[in-house]
Amino acid sequence: MIVGIVTALRAEARCVTSLRLPFNQMINLGENAAIWLCGMGEEAAWEAAEGLRAGGVTSLMSWGLAGALDSRLRPGDLILPESIYAGRPLQVDLNWRARLRALLPGRLNVTGGMLVASKHVLTSANAKKDLAQATGACAVDMESGAVAEAAAHAGIPLLVVRAISDPAEFSPPSILLGAVRSDGSADLGRLLPLLLRRSVTLATLLRLAVDSRAAYSTLSTVGRYAGAEMGIANPSSDTRRTSKG
């Protein structure tokens, strides 16, 4: 099995490899894995999944952060959903999921259930509550639905690995989204005026940073312990960078 890893944010990718990845390019991580850094959103994720498939991968993994819809989920919790809702329910490969789960250390809080795809970032507790009630999902992201659709279309295995970065009661404020680049990094030229005008508070930014750090720590742990099921023999070491296609 050759695993194609779709990831939206550069910080998410760093939990898999220390390479500085280019955007929208398939990068091999040894013989049995490749990664594609695509930026945020379903269209970008679909293009990444299709690009990986064209490059020869035989399975797809959606990797990164998610927002909690269930109030019991906290930043740093790991979501290994059994299904993805993207207008219709789509199943992950449960055998693959079980193999990866068995490699993880007991200190991680791992949850299953359904993850739902959203076309945009949810920026309020009410929006999260409404989506949870409408779908029964425990968490949400913007990329996994497109990756799941691509896997279903191709008839290849799918696995979704997502760490909670924001709890159900707290979300990034909508005004902050314009100060975030597609790779998740801050655009300081747009962020600093928001801080000066107090449109965004320093306390909000600090909370987002702490919560995200907990999520990235979890993803890094998954990479270290379950690299074999990601097709990566030693994910902590630099891998020779090549591309296909």
Res 187: pLDDT? 67
* 205 compared with 65, residue with greater pLDDT: 65
pTM: 0.88
Contact 184, 10 (CB under 8 A): yes
Which domain covers residue 145, as residue numbers?
3-171+211-230
- Count of the separate structural domains present in the chain: 1
DSSP line for 34-86:
EEEE--SSHHHHHHHHHHHHHTT-SEEEEEEEEEE-STT--TT-EE--SEEES
Q: How many CB atoms lie within 10 A of CB 78?
A: 21
Question: 234: pLDDT confidence band, cut at 50, 70 and 90?
Answer: low
Asked if residue 101 belongs to a domain, the reply is yes
Please tell me the distance from the alpha carbon of residue 116 to that of residue 144, in angstroms, as a whole number: 8
Q: Closest Cα to residue 77, out of 103, 109, 107?
A: 109
Looking at residue 121, its pLDDT comes to: 86
Residue 104 has what pLDDT?
97
CATH number at 9 reads 3.40.50.1580
pLDDT, tens only, 166-199: 999 988 777 766 767 777 776 677 777 777 787 7
What is the C-alpha separation between 220 and 242, in angstroms, rounded? 23
What pLDDT is attached to residue 215?
97
